[in-house]
């Protein structure tokens, strides 16, 4: 039986530990793990998971509005933001496109991004 979700969040089981606001992807077994730079994410973890097989809500990439991410490098307002390794975001345009930064952030800090096609 197929299911559909018409909400901003969906809960998934984790394949490993995940930090809050890390970009995540769905693995072949249906669990989530941290997305690498060039991988397309399904959203960001709404809370931290400290181990494998924890249920974690994901703020889906399809949500309307802005999303919080972890900056891999310093990011300025208006920067085009792309995926970075470790489930973070950066400014390297050869990785998966994410959106436009609405706030500045230092490396390792949270940054607000408007998700959109670049």
Q: What distance in Å separates the CA atoms of residue 54 and residue 36, rounded to the nearest whole number?
A: 20
* 70-92 pLDDT per residue, tens: 999 999 999 999 999 999 999 99
- What pTM was estimated for this model as a whole? 0.89
Q: Which stretch of DSSP H or E encloses residue 57?
A: strand 55-60
* 90-100 pLDDT per residue, tens: 999 989 999 99
Q: What distance in Å separates the CA atoms of residue 87 and residue 41, rounded to the nearest whole number?
A: 9
Q: What is the mean pLDDT of each run of 10 residues along the chain (118 residues)?
A: 72 97 97 95 96 96 89 97 96 93 97 86
- Exposure string for 19-43, b = 16+ CB within 10 A, e = fewer: bebbbbbbeeeebbbbbbbebebbb
């Amino acid at each position: 039986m197929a299911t559909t979700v018409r909400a901003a969040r969906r809960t998934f089981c984790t394949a490993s530990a995940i930090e809050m606001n890390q970009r995540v992807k769905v693995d072949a077994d249906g669990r989530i793990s941290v997305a690498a730079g060039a991988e397309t994410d399904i959203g960001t973890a709404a809370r931290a998971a400290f181990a494998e097989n924890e249920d974690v809500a994901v703020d889906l990439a399809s949500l309307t509005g802005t999303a919080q991410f972890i900056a891999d490098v310093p990011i300025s307002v208006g920067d085009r933001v792309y995926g970075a390794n470790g489930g973070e975001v950066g400014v390297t345009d050869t990785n998966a496109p994410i959106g436009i930064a609405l706030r500045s952030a230092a490396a390792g800090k949270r940054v607000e991004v408007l998700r959109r096609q670049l």
